[in-house]
Amino acid sequence: MELNPSQLQKLLAACIPAMLPVLVTGAPGIGKSDIVARAASDADHELLISHPVVEDPTDSKGLPFPSADGAHARFLPFGDLERALSARRPLVWFIDDLGQATPAVQAAKMQLLLARKIGEHVLPPHVTFVAATNRRIDNAGVSNILDPLKSRFATIVELTTSIKDWTRWAVATGQPPELIAFLRFRPDLLLSADRTREIENLPSPRSWGMVGKLSQVVPAELEHVAFAGAVGQGAATEFVAFKRLFRQMPSPDGVLAAPSTAPIPTDVAVQYGIVTALARLANANNFDRVMVYANRLHEAGLGEFAVLLVRDAVERDAAIASTPAFIVAQGGPIGAHIRGQ
């Protein structure tokens, strides 16, 4: 069953407190680990991350050692197992890249997932499991997951990408406005369906996040080669061309200084750019001026862009929702668009 990031967040919010283990599959770099970490934080659980691809069965069973009388052996828990067994607070044990683990390591996880114990060691009742894996088609070293292990999970879901969820994350984390605007303009470049055995990257939410970081440190003359190393030649070429266009758009500061007379772009790419840049500058003190420009966009037949501007501004700064300008807007056509009317 496919879920977008928002749906997966809600599913984990329901399953984690109920102690129901979930297995999340999906392509590399689409945010599985980030979503699990956020879900654990939202549930006020500590997070323990294990990577079974670098484990052997003793990591899940403990090290055998002789008893004091030498008549028998016991297993001594260590590492992640010891931390889980000694957890005092609610804990999400996140098993990442499960599909890359050997069959022996996967088999060692079965008893932990279903019986919640391994040998004589019993997990505390406040430890719950979430696991993630790439798919066999992803060229990620996944061979298979044992059927008995799969059946230990309450549900198995596949995470898909969503430009809406990615832009919400990008706005909240302060990604460059030109990058947000570009992927809104070219949402099909968010995730590549291609696979390669060469040592090169392809577009994914993770690799676009790397482009955002590179944008802040790489000199202009090296942007193309650096971006190509993050998302591939084709996507990087388009983004660099978009950045040149972005730099030629009306100044966001100029728009805020004169929102009644500032030009409204006619190029769609620049329209995405200006509303994204304005939303980044919006705050409770200047939102009345932002709304002047947003209303002009709506009157010019660009209601979709006016809604993007208002939504991005509020998602970035929740205090804007309490301003008189925002409250008034809710009773107008932009508010009706936001409510889907």
| Residue 163 φ/ψ, nearest 5 degrees | -65, -30
The whole-number pLDDT of residue 25 equals 96
The whole-number pLDDT of residue 244 equals 87
The whole-number pLDDT of residue 340 equals 66
How far, CA to CA in Å, does 17 sit from each of 12, 35, 38, 264? Answer: 9, 16, 14, 49
Kindly report which listed range (27-31, 64-68, 149-153, 231-235) carries the lowest average pLDDT score: 64-68
The whole-number pLDDT of residue 198 equals 77
User: Confidence class of residue 114 from pLDDT cuts 50, 70 and 90?
Assistant: confident
Q: What is the mean pLDDT of residues 4-22?
A: 95
8 Å CB contact between 121 and 157: no
For residue 110, pLDDT over 60 is answered with yes
**DSSP result, 234-286:** HHHHHHHHHHHHHHTSPPHHHHHH-TTTSPPP-SHHHHHHHHHHHHHH--TTT
For residue 299, pLDDT over 70 is answered with yes
Instruction: Round the average pLDDT of the chain to a whole number and report it.
Output: 90
Q: Which two tokens stand for residue 250?
A: 């009306």
**Percent of the chain having pLDDT more than 90?**
65
CA distance 313 to 293: 13
Q: What is the mean pLDDT of residues 4-21?
A: 95
For residue 6, pLDDT over 60 is answered with yes
8 Å CB contact between 28 and 138: yes
User: Confidence class of residue 13 from pLDDT cuts 50, 70 and 90?
Assistant: very high
The whole-number pLDDT of residue 5 equals 93
The whole-number pLDDT of residue 260 equals 93
The whole-number pLDDT of residue 341 equals 55
The whole-number pLDDT of residue 296 equals 94
CA distance 324 to 301: 24
pLDDT tens-digit map of 33-51: 999 999 999 999 999 999 9
| Residue 48 φ/ψ, nearest 5 degrees | -115, 120
CA distance 127 to 90: 6
Q: Which two tokens stand for residue 35?
A: 């979503």
The whole-number pLDDT of residue 334 equals 85
| Residue 289 φ/ψ, nearest 5 degrees | -75, -35
CA distance 142 to 158: 15
pLDDT tens-digit map of 206-263: 999 999 999 999 998 999 999 999 999 999 999 999 988 888 888 898 999 999 999 9
For the whole prediction, is pTM greater than 0.85?
Answer: no
Question: The tokens 């409510």 sit on which residue?
Answer: 339
Q: What is the mean pLDDT of residues 6-34?
A: 95
User: Confidence class of residue 100 from pLDDT cuts 50, 70 and 90?
Assistant: very high
The whole-number pLDDT of residue 197 equals 74
* Domains of the chain, first to last: 2-159 (3.40.50.300), 163-338 (no CATH)
Kindly report which listed range (7-16, 116-125, 254-263) carries the lowest average pLDDT score: 116-125
